[in-house]
Amino acid sequence: MRSKSGVPGESIAIIGMACRFPGAKDVEAYWHNLVAGVSSIQPLPRERWVTKPTSQGQWSGLVEHVDSFDAAAFGISPAEADNMDPQQRLVLEEAWHCFEDAAVPLERLREKKTGVFIGTMSSDYLQELGMAGVTASRYASTGGFACIVANRVSYVFGFRGPSMAVEAACTSSLVALHEAKEALLRGECDYALVGGASLNLHPWKFDAFEQLRLFSPEGKSKTYDVDADGYAPGEGIGLVLLQRLSDARAEHNRVLALVRGTAVNHNGHGRGLTAPSMPALRDVTLAASEDAGFGLDTVSYMESHGTGTSLGDPIEFEGLTQAFRKHTPARNFCQLGSVKPNVGHLEPASGVASLIKILLMLRHRWIAPSIDVKTVNPLVDFDASPFQFARASAPWKSVREDVPLRAGMTCFGFGGVNAQVLVEAAPPDTAHREPAEQGPQVFTLSANSAASLSNLVEAWSTFASGKDFDGQRLEDVCGTLARGRQSLPYRLGVVVEERDGVRRFLAQAPQAERHGPRSWVLRVGSGVG
């Protein structure tokens, strides 16, 4: 199927997201930690490295169960899975979660041209296997090289659009977003899976970065604090699904936000390869504003790269301030924060961690606080700047009633690449829709295995017992499950007339693990147990 050409003025919609970050197995847990001001940075367990124990005083934000993988669900043999970098494994799992969050079935993604753009930086797993003396197998090359992360997704799911790993150090995932946006506008793909992957699986990087004095001895990323002394490393996987807005509206897909402007540049020759450049950060922010078609005076939140160094933070702050001053002399109208104190520096995945934070803030119209700042660095003059430091959790308000919520995010890499992305709250969908079907609804769940189905029932039981489920229309929930999910071999279904019927069904769902692939359809009406 041929992709249509990009339309001038077309916006790019974000229609799905998924993540696994330190202390957060999914986006809901991530939001809970953000709004509660939780830091998920911890001392490295001594057993983290296979080849040698960790050094005392090393810290990181860690993802749980990085060694777990349901290989059979993706048609991968145990022998090949053992040789696959866990970054590849977790990206596959989170890609599936992202498609489900978007309610776009796999068949549709295969029918269209779906691109994959993943920010990466290194393959610690390959180094770890080498140091452990593991003999190379025929799966070692495709399993170990970081460049295969995106290609693996395209291969497993059968996608035929562009497929590339993007390596630009800490800006990798935002550069990947920039490339995906441009590919969508050029008509090279109809959907784009975008994100970043970073896992700390080998001690070499820790030892090398400590020599560069990049890490905080205290294990805290004290962004904009007078005592900032480096960052705490982190790890994670974050993904979003993009589509042209016109296509998203035509297919009735939910829109989380719009990608309005992106820009990428390099410092050029300067004080050092790893040193940030104030003029380059200013210029990339102005370029993103020009690409977006709106002024920075309409941006009400900025997510700072915020590496937590006494020199780097003021340079970034001044670059942002000078960019905003090209548009307005106004002071203190834009909230400024950083997610690094919560999860650590996710390096190639740091940009997508910022993006998903902003998407969640847009969903809730709420500013998550920035933590671990006691005394602001005197080289950062908030009072004379366009910014307020987002110390406290608070409602997110636009700069004016006629302007939607808008946010930006900055990343700069230690190789000199800078990226800026500007996003906007999704516009209201004014298209005519057929009224939702009333009366009894079919609630369906399916999975690849009995154990997975049982886990799905448990997850739905938890969700159905909360307030968020009460705010959903039963017709919308059942319609999404029926039309926006892949139909898998192990299935459960029930005919219900109200939400309590779903709760009762989940409480007494058949124990699927006792049987082979099969389906159940029950009827649970009002007042029927």
Burial class (CB in 10 A: 0-12, 13-18, 19+), 379: middle
Does residue 19 contact residue 356 with C-beta atoms inside 8 Å?
yes
Instruction: Tell me the pLDDT tens digit for each residue of 301-315.
Output: 999 999 898 888 999
For residue 122, is pLDDT > 60? yes
Instruction: Tell me the pLDDT tens digit for each residue of 429-487.
Output: 765 455 555 678 888 888 888 888 888 888 888 888 887 788 788 888 888 888 878 77
β pairing state of 163-166 and 114-119: parallel
353 vs 517: which has the higher pLDDT:
353
491 vs 244: which has the higher pLDDT:
244
Supply the pLDDT for residue 525.
43
Compute the mean pLDDT over every residue in the chain, rounded to the nearest whole number. Answer: 89
Supply the pLDDT for residue 527.
35
For residue 371, is pLDDT > 60? yes
Supply the pLDDT for residue 278.
97
Q: pLDDT band at residue 526, thresholds of 50, 70 and 90?
A: very low
Q: Is 127 helix (H, G, I), strand (E, B) or coil?
A: helix
517 vs 494: which has the higher pLDDT:
494
Does residue 239 contact residue 195 with C-beta atoms inside 8 Å?
yes
CB neighbourhood size of 19 (10 A): 31
* Tokens encoding 460: 């739905």
For residue 6, is pLDDT > 70? no
Does residue 337 contact residue 360 with C-beta atoms inside 8 Å?
no
Supply the pLDDT for residue 435.
55
**DSSP codes joined into one string, 56-71:** TT-EEE--TTTT---G
Supply the pLDDT for residue 301.
99
Distance of CA 292 to CAs 53, 263, 299, 354, Å?
48, 10, 11, 19
Does residue 405 contact residue 396 with C-beta atoms inside 8 Å?
yes
Instruction: Tell me the pLDDT tens digit for each residue of 396-442.
Output: 999 999 999 999 999 999 999 999 999 999 998 765 455 555 678 88
- What would the CATH number be for the domain defined by 441-524? 3.30.70.3290
For residue 192, is pLDDT > 90? yes
Domain coordinates of the chain in residue numbers?
12-425, 441-524
Instruction: Return the C-alpha torsion angle 287, 288, 291, 293, nearest 10.
Output: -110
Supply the pLDDT for residue 473.
84
Average pLDDT on 505-516 reads 62
Superfamily of chain region 12-425? Thiolase/Chalcone synthase (3.40.47.10)
CB neighbourhood size of 184 (10 A): 28
386 vs 433: which has the higher pLDDT:
386
* Tokens encoding 122: 């290194």
